[in-house]
Structure 1
Amino acid sequence: MEDAARTPLDSRIGHGVVDGCKHETRMVGIAPFGKAAALALLAGTMAGLWLPTFMAAGYLFAIAPVAGIAWWRGRRGRWMGPLLGGFVLAGLHGANALAIQLPPALEGGDFEVSGRIVDLPDHQARRTSYLFRIAQDHSQPEPLRGRLVRLSWYDDFDGSPTGRDRLRAGQEWTQQVRLKAPRGLRNPGGADSEKHALARRLVANGYVREPGAALLRRDASGLHAWRESMADQISMSIPSESGRFIRALALGDTRLLADEDWRTLRATGLVHLVAISGFHVGLVSGFFALFAGAIWWVLPSLARRLPRPTAAAIAALLGAAGYAAIAGFALPTVRTVLMIAVIAGLRIFRRRAGAFDSMALAAIVLLLADPLSVLGAGFWLSFAGVAWLVWCLPDAGRNPLRDLFSAQGVATLGLLPLSAMLFGEASIAGPLTNLLAVPWWSLVVVPLSLLGTALEAMQAGLGGWAWRAAAWCFAPSWSLFERVAQSPFSLLWLPEPRWFALPLALLGAFWLLLPRGLPGRPLAVLLWLPLLWPARNLPAPGEFELQVLDVGQGLSVLVRTSNRTLLYDAGPAAAEGFDAGERVVVPSLRALGVGQLDRVVVSHGDNDHAGGFAAVRAAFPTEDVIAPQGAGIDGSTTCVGGEEWAWDGVRFRFLHPPKYFPYLGNEASCVLRIEGDHGSVLLTGDIGDVVERDLVRRSREDPAATVAADVALIAHHGSGGSSDPSFVEATAAEMALVSSGHGNRFGHPRADVVERWRLHGARVSGTAEGGALVVHMGAEGPHLETRRASHPRAWDAARRLEQAAAGPPAGLSYRPD
């Protein structure tokens, strides 16, 4: 058995004992838990999740036995087992996560629920958001029992006994809430919140209807309550601004980090070091293993009861689990703990395995436990990072300084393709800043932060000195990194690439990291071109492209010619923290490869059109801004009906407002007509029916002021006060586009308005259903693509809503008996 314990894991598969004698059978095919099996399981999982729709459960259950038999009993075709198994598990988990979401018939309904706050509430100016686990009992609404929802509590911090400043992690409440199924915006380069909700098994989003009537049933208790109290102690112990970072490093609490902090971290490539990550968990695990090994070295008699390698493995696992608990068992930490548990288990049971074998087994365990984990970027970055380091630095440990530089170089080259594909950016300064931050923060700041937490847990007030020391060590480095981040060359934004760009770039990275002396290595850079410089597919001269971005209840339209770019409106910016300019418009422009905006038109000053302009202007400085006089847009010139210009064979003309027209809000909106060689578009802002009828009159008097267009933007998001019948008829549009928020409280677009456009021959499409709308005005005439149709996802909420039967109207009341 001692020989077996020392035999590598893969080669040991196929050994057995018969009549007390060891024999060996020749291995055919792949090991059931080896590297090839892990890759096949991952491929099957990806296939199951990235299909346009999940396969029916009946078919999946029929495939499952075949997958199990092929995996366990197969030989040459054993890879089919994990491949089919991953496909089945991913389909079942994904379909179940989608099925438990709030049914469409109950969306917009009021529910009285009781449950527990299961994370740290995020307090903002007028809103507090938090995860709420609904109680598992029969008094709760049947579709929500035991489920996880994200709630928002709206009011101001006023110190009242019923204010949201009383919300604490670990509390139990009874609240009346209004819920809807998780749904997000769909744009180029934008975050996919529906995917995130699916991975978290989030069933609904909503808000507390009557905050004053909410009832606190039990005060804060449990792990998250302890974490929040520790976070408060850190803030009181550290008067400097560094306290927010010590909270993040010690507890994984990033609530106090501002947007500017995150921008600095992204620009310097240090995001992975701030919140508690898998890297930190592995570091703490290593410290615990070394500490246990030192004790066994000092007291060798302990080895009689427990071998030192086994003790070190157990200590490593306990340290990792404890640190993950401090972080609230965030997904990256849980994934790392699971990986450490697999490696520790192999050591405890004396099963020798190489680094890649251990990684393969950890990946198999993780995918079997939660196949939806592949939807998160952390899964790919953690496994890919370890794999690159193990492959390129198999002899690490002999020269720590050289290993540090080598590891940073390998991580930069190896993870750049993934980072670019996942986040659309690459930190140029990251390799240099990590050389300083990794050893300094990880070996000095983090240990001091954890020491303070441990001392504070033993006795209140004991950990303050360690936290202050951590802040004192952290502050100088952060000042340096802030200066680095301000450089325009610190961060490279990359356009959205095609699907084949990532495998080509990974192949190029593999080629570059091959041993020195291999001929042709510089040619590997060519394989990165589809990722770093993808084709932008710009219109030809005389043609143009229209992108109506999905900004919710607002408007933002991007117009591109062959060499110029115009932005019409920038979406809303809410006081609660959502800024469509920052969260939607800017990422979309970068994903589309827009380097600068040649002109910005703000149709009028209302927040849903102009709110995001400040964020857009900060990211894309431009002096050419046009808005109605009196709209309050700093540095803008006035749009006047009759003014026109031409770009790349495309003609632009303002139709409204006329000269000396007073600013009347919606009625003063800049109306812009765009005409190319193959069609025209009319952008209408928020004008009402009075202005529409006046435009029709002027159109009849002056052919140059015509409102006729192949594509028309439905005014004021499809409200009842716009789309006058004479205006709809005069446009003669074959496409009518509407920008509105899904399930918005105004009921936009109105059903009668949509029907009016359809009766006059227009095909109506909206951002609420299709996500971002792209209209190509090419030689074949107007061609429309919606983001949801061109990038289908199995978890697409729109698909589920379209397939669902019509239910009761929104606003129904649902309370337990």
Structure 2
Amino acid sequence: MRVFVLAFTIGVWLVQQQAELVAWPWLAAGGAVALPMLMMVHVLRVWGKSALVGRCAASIPGVRQFVIITPLLIAGFALGFLWASACAYWRLAEALPAVNEGRDIEVVGVVSALPQQIERGMRFEFDVESAAASVPQHISLAWYRGRADDEAEDVPTMPLHAGERWRFTVRLKRPHGNVNPQGFDYEAWLFERGIRATGYVRPHSATRLNAAVWRQGYAVEMLRERIRERFQSALPDASYAGILIALAIGDQQSIAPTLWQQFAKTGITHLMSISGLHVTMFAGLFYWLVGWLWRRSAVLPLHLPAQKAAALGGFIAALIYSLLAGFAVPAQRTLYMLGVVALARLLNREVAASRVLALALLVVLILDPWAVLAAGFWLSFGAVALLFYIGSGRLGAAHWLAEWGRAQWAVTLGMLPALLALFQQFSLVSPLANAVAIPLVSFVITPLALAGVLPFLDPLLWLANFITTGLMRFIDWLAVLPMATWQQAAPPAWAILLALGGGVWLLLPRGFPARWLGLLTFLPLLIITPPRPPLGEAEVVVLDVGQGLAIHVQTATHDLLFDTGPTFSAEADSGNRIIVPYLRAIGVRRLDELIVSHADNDHSGGAESILAAVPVSLLRASLPAAHPLWNHTLPNAPCRAGDAWDWDGVHFLILHPAATNAATKSNAVACVLAIDAHGRRVLITSDIEAAQESALVTRQAGDGNASRLAAEVLIVPHHGSRTSSTDAFVAAVGAKEAIFPVGYRNRFGHPKAEIVARYEHSGAHLHRTDADGAVAVHLTPGGVRIDHARTLRRRYWQSMPSITATE
């Protein structure tokens, strides 16, 4: 069973790594092989029970295991691959037709999940029941209070709740997310949740048709929303009410992003969601309560023993709590494990802990084959597997404190490779933080929050908030300690696997020889650094930040960031969502220079987040004198034409603005940077417009240095706007590669069709961040090589219509 489930998991995981799905005939052939294999295993096991066959198999060591395990591995892998592929085909079939993107479409449906407040309105999932055009059944919508695209006036939203039926006019687009090296795959997250289109509600178009649609899933969401409202009304001014809401109903959106950063620094993130420990604790409470009440009856135990009734009651309690918690993977895993244990108790059978975990894993993957894409899946099952591993085969019972300490050591050590692979950071203070937080959150705060769900028990919520406030003061103190968090580049896959194997070896029972060798396997994980360009070469990565610009330039020993992308909301921007995680993942711990080309939000929006997270040696910018960025106490300089420097044999030159430039429009003073490596040049033009392009062409020609403007690669000015890319400028640069940094279906319509045609006519190859993801330019002595993140990280769910320029 365990071998089959492991192979099934590998098959499911492998499907999610495919750029394209395997054709149906090959899948059918795999199924035709797998089913006879399972039948053969069954026959071999039946024959193996006979005395004659058993003696023959036993006479040759390993024969019986080989002839059974090999078909199980093949069948499990094939069935896992087949099942995940079939589910993927079914989900891909429900796609938004390209002709319906950006159109006004009237839809009727039900708000299917908790609405979430966003900066200018709310976001919610919507089940479409009928529509005026072909749209997917499950979509994600935003309803803004202010303007949306071409709306001429601000329109307020109406109150909206889970389980309500509405009629909307919406504009939709296919799922699309930023694709950067080591970045979060938003499209995969949407695909796993079955969201096959995103969009927004058109103002003046909303009509509530029914206040409540009574179906099982909607009823659960309505109850969750009522509980959230109760917590918010009972704790209107509490700083940590969101934590209690998350612990009670699994609404992690209620926790502020700043708190999540503190949790990550101290290693207690797992406690602030509905973990297996919480579900087990809740189920255990009801197990004891049902058993105690059952034994008080003189009749009930005659029909069903108290232990069986208690097991059933505990499972039902776990099911209810898991549904209220949003049915995340850790809750699912615990629920299915408890279900297997309860079923075994009802059938009077004993089941090994590893079999319980394997069955839970199998059920999760059958119901959700995309669960393997979530970090929580691996962390949840991995942590439990480690606890089972260190608890098996040990002789004698140690003191409970020693057992707890050993469990903490095992989870900390065993999960280190996974945490570095997934998040590129690890909290060094997590043992201390968890020593305090685990008992408080699991046995005090969570029970109080759950009890506070009931009416008239507000004092319990006040007490829970008081204790949480004290805990957070301790967590805040830990988070600011020097070296509270270890950060490093994403390790290679072989180093992760080596460290995982070494961790298993190190956690063998005491007395096993040479356990210390397991520590050596962690060294590559911690000391190997990503490769950098050789001397004289450079790598220029135009990051995919949506409608904005952020470019990372790396030489052999130096790093430069040109612009920082846009701000998304008051708490989210390109800096903390995209650029800082990218820099951490590739091993950049400091920036030698940060250039902010001008003050527009789509170029400077992430600067504050970057300066707060990454040491910067020099800030160079073209900003007004009163701009807040100048207030930072670090060396700074204005962007001025003629400024030049060399790093590792690579030449950098500022071409604009001129020192005498008196323009007041921010685009007119935007920095222009030329990068030269072995005569291979990249020209970064930011948002300069026609007047600045003309001045550049005239100035370079007047200086007798027209070659300064020539470049193999051009970052197209102003995202392909009509205000830039004049014929004279395009001809003067003569770029063979033109890169458009644009957002998918952006409201400005960039790049414009005539600008795209102009570059095509010049003979340049075109690249777009909305279609290609991050664009990496490698400047080498042999020439220029360009890679696309979407090509390197291609997955089958990323299929999208061809993108054309806007007229």
Question: How does the TM-score come out when normalised to structure 2?
Answer: 0.89
2: CA distance, partners of 1:115 / 1:446:
35
Q: How many angstroms does 1:299 deviate by?
A: 5.4
Q: How many angstroms does 1:112 deviate by?
A: 0.8
- After superposition, residues 137-156 of structure 1 pair within 5 angstroms as 139-141=130-132, 143-144=134-135, 147-155=137-145
The answer to whether the Cα contact below 8 Å between 2:295 and 2:301 also exists between their aligned partners in 1 is no
Q: 3-state DSSP class of the match of 2:496?
A: helix
Closer, same or farther in 2 for the Cα pair 1:162/1:745, shift >3 Å?
closer
2: CA distance, partners of 1:417 / 1:532:
9
The answer to whether the Cα contact below 8 Å between 1:414 and 1:510 also exists between their aligned partners in 2 is yes
Q: How many angstroms does 1:328 deviate by?
A: 3.5
Query: Is 2:221 the partner of 1:224?
Result: yes
Q: How many angstroms does 1:410 deviate by?
A: 0.8
| Partner residue, 1:281 | 279
Letter in 2 for 1:712: L
Letter in 2 for 1:643: D
Letter in 2 for 1:650: V
Letter in 2 for 1:376: A
| Partner residue, 2:779 | 777
Q: How many angstroms does 1:398 deviate by?
A: 5.6
Q: In structure 1, which of residues 472, 477, 480 is the aligned counterpart of residue 471 of structure 2?
A: 477
Between 755-764 and 403-412, report the one with greater CA deviation.
Answer: 755-764
| Partner residue, 2:207 | 215
Letter in 2 for 1:217: L
The answer to whether the Cα contact below 8 Å between 2:597 and 2:671 also exists between their aligned partners in 1 is yes
Query: Is 2:629 the partner of 1:634?
Result: yes
Gaps of 5+ in 1: 1-33, 457-461, 812-817
1: CA distance, partners of 2:519 / 2:429:
20
Q: How many angstroms does 1:514 deviate by?
A: 1.8
| Partner residue, 1:17 | none
| Partner residue, 1:116 | 110
Q: 3-state DSSP class of the match of 1:642?
A: coil
1: CA distance, partners of 2:184 / 2:2:
32
| Partner residue, 2:737 | 735
- After superposition, residues 636-785 of structure 1 pair within 5 angstroms as 636-663=636-663, 664-704=665-705, 706-785=708-787
* CA displacement, residues 173-194 of structure 1 (integer Å, 9 cap, x when unaligned): 1111100111110112321011
| Partner residue, 1:20 | none
Q: In structure 1, which of residues 299, 305, 308 is the aligned counterpart of residue 306 of structure 2?
A: 308
Q: 3-state DSSP class of the match of 2:196?
A: strand
Q: 3-state DSSP class of the match of 1:495?
A: coil
Closer, same or farther in 2 for the Cα pair 1:678/1:294, shift >3 Å?
farther
| Partner residue, 1:429 | 429
Letter in 2 for 1:719: S
2: CA distance, partners of 1:362 / 1:300:
36
Q: 3-state DSSP class of the match of 1:660?
A: coil
Closer, same or farther in 2 for the Cα pair 1:397/1:684, shift >3 Å?
farther
1: CA distance, partners of 2:238 / 2:410:
36
| Partner residue, 1:25 | none
Letter in 2 for 1:505: A
1: CA distance, partners of 2:21 / 2:437:
43
* CA displacement, residues 615-652 of structure 1 (integer Å, 9 cap, x when unaligned): 11111243621112527352253111111111222111
* CA displacement, residues 425-469 of structure 1 (integer Å, 9 cap, x when unaligned): 21211122111111111011111111111x32xxxxx11011112
The answer to whether the Cα contact below 8 Å between 1:125 and 1:156 also exists between their aligned partners in 2 is no
Q: 3-state DSSP class of the match of 1:50?
A: coil
- After superposition, residues 18-417 of structure 1 pair within 5 angstroms as 34-74=1-41, 75=44, 76=67, 77-135=71-129, 139-141=130-132, 143-144=134-135, 147-155=137-145, 163-164=156-157, 166-210=159-203, 212-220=204-212, 222-238=219-235, 239-296=237-294, 302-394=300-392, 399-417=399-417
Q: 3-state DSSP class of the match of 1:164?
A: coil
Gaps of 5+ in 2: 45-66, 148-153, 214-218, 631-635
2: CA distance, partners of 1:704 / 1:603:
23
Q: 3-state DSSP class of the match of 2:521?
A: helix
Q: 3-state DSSP class of the match of 1:213?
A: coil
1: CA distance, partners of 2:755 / 2:762:
11
The answer to whether the Cα contact below 8 Å between 1:101 and 1:182 also exists between their aligned partners in 2 is no
| Partner residue, 2:438 | 438
Q: 3-state DSSP class of the match of 1:795?
A: helix
Letter in 1 for 2:712: D
| Partner residue, 1:11 | none
Letter in 2 for 1:250: A
Q: 3-state DSSP class of the match of 2:452?
A: helix
Between 293-302 and 478-487, report the one with greater CA deviation.
Answer: 293-302
Q: 3-state DSSP class of the match of 2:167?
A: strand
| Partner residue, 1:13 | none
The answer to whether the Cα contact below 8 Å between 2:119 and 2:569 also exists between their aligned partners in 1 is yes
Q: How many angstroms does 1:40 deviate by?
A: 0.9
Q: How many angstroms does 1:333 deviate by?
A: 2.4
Closer, same or farther in 2 for the Cα pair 1:720/1:162, shift >3 Å?
closer
Q: 3-state DSSP class of the match of 2:629?
A: coil
2: CA distance, partners of 1:718 / 1:243:
46
Q: 3-state DSSP class of the match of 2:254?
A: coil
2: CA distance, partners of 1:110 / 1:73:
57
The answer to whether the Cα contact below 8 Å between 2:538 and 2:554 also exists between their aligned partners in 1 is yes
Q: 3-state DSSP class of the match of 2:801?
A: helix
Closer, same or farther in 2 for the Cα pair 1:553/1:397, shift >3 Å?
farther
1: CA distance, partners of 2:570 / 2:97:
27
Number of paired residues? 759
2: CA distance, partners of 1:488 / 1:735:
45
Closer, same or farther in 2 for the Cα pair 1:387/1:575, shift >3 Å?
closer
| Partner residue, 1:10 | none
Higher RCO structure, 1 or 2 (CA under 8 Å, sep 6+): 1
Q: How many angstroms does 1:488 deviate by?
A: 4.0
Closer, same or farther in 2 for the Cα pair 1:410/1:165, shift >3 Å?
farther
The answer to whether the Cα contact below 8 Å between 1:509 and 1:524 also exists between their aligned partners in 2 is yes
- After superposition, residues 576-587 of structure 1 pair within 5 angstroms as 578-587=572-581
Q: How many angstroms does 1:533 deviate by?
A: 3.6
Closer, same or farther in 2 for the Cα pair 1:105/1:307, shift >3 Å?
same
Letter in 1 for 2:16: L
Q: 3-state DSSP class of the match of 2:711?
A: coil
The answer to whether the Cα contact below 8 Å between 1:186 and 1:550 also exists between their aligned partners in 2 is yes
The answer to whether the Cα contact below 8 Å between 1:686 and 1:716 also exists between their aligned partners in 2 is yes
| Partner residue, 2:499 | 505
| Partner residue, 1:550 | 544
2: CA distance, partners of 1:172 / 1:589:
44
The answer to whether the Cα contact below 8 Å between 2:115 and 2:162 also exists between their aligned partners in 1 is yes
| Partner residue, 1:9 | none
Question: How does the TM-score come out when normalised to structure 1?
Answer: 0.88
Closer, same or farther in 2 for the Cα pair 1:142/1:655, shift >3 Å?
closer
Closer, same or farther in 2 for the Cα pair 1:224/1:614, shift >3 Å?
same
Letter in 2 for 1:634: L
The answer to whether the Cα contact below 8 Å between 1:321 and 1:337 also exists between their aligned partners in 2 is yes
Letter in 1 for 2:202: R
Q: How many angstroms does 1:265 deviate by?
A: 0.8
Between 290-299 and 748-757, report the one with greater CA deviation.
Answer: 290-299
Q: In structure 1, which of residues 792, 795, 800 is the aligned counterpart of residue 794 of structure 2?
A: 792
The answer to whether the Cα contact below 8 Å between 2:138 and 2:196 also exists between their aligned partners in 1 is yes
Q: How many angstroms does 1:810 deviate by?
A: 9.2
Between 43-52 and 553-562, report the one with greater CA deviation.
Answer: 43-52
* CA displacement, residues 650-709 of structure 1 (integer Å, 9 cap, x when unaligned): 111111111120242112111011112251211100111221122112222224571111
